[in-house]
Amino acid sequence: MTTSNDKPRQVTTKEAENAILLLTLSADRKQTARLRELLPLIDQATQQGVTLIAIHQKLQQLEFTVSYKSFTKILSRLRQNPRPMPLTSAPPPTRPEDSPTRQAR
């Protein structure tokens, strides 16, 4: 039981990463979408010497149901056609009458 003097437990980065990973592996989402989000982690793991077979086997233990052949095809397609990064907070567009070219006329 917590008392009013107890401080909230600090969540570690690894705990947060694991929680987010579990969300991305949710069976409610399409497997390609889940792989798209995992692609940077998959690439990092392979660069560190982990095989795609080992990654595929681990994902299957987490209820990922694509075959190894489909897994590699999906990864290949995701690498060939990367989705654009989400837009960052950019300033709102200016009105045409406020544009520099309009003012120079």
Q: Check residue 5 and give its pLDDT.
A: 63
Beta strands in the chain (DSSP E): none
Q: Among 1-15, 67-81, 88-102, which is the least confidently predicted range?
A: 88-102
Geometric angle at alpha carbon 64, from 58 and 67, rounded to 5°: 90
Q: Which position has the higher pLDDT, 6 or 101?
A: 6
Query: 0.85 exceeded by the pTM?
Result: no
Closest listed residue to residue 39, CA positions, set 1, 103, 83: 83
Q: Range with the lowest mean pLDDT among 55-64, 68-77, 83-92?
A: 83-92
Two tokens at 1? 């039981």
**What pLDDT score does 84 carry?**
60
Q: What pLDDT shows up at residue 19?
A: 78
Mean pLDDT of 35-57: 93
- H helical segments located in 48-105: 52-61, 68-80, 100-103
User: What's the Rg (C-alpha) of the chain?
Assistant: 22
Indicate if the pLDDT at residue 105 is higher than 60: no
| pLDDT classification of 101: cutoffs 50, 70, 90 | low
pLDDT score, position 97: 55
> 78, 35 in Cβ contact below 8 A?
yes
Q: What is the DSSP letter of 22?
A: H
pLDDT of residue 25: 60
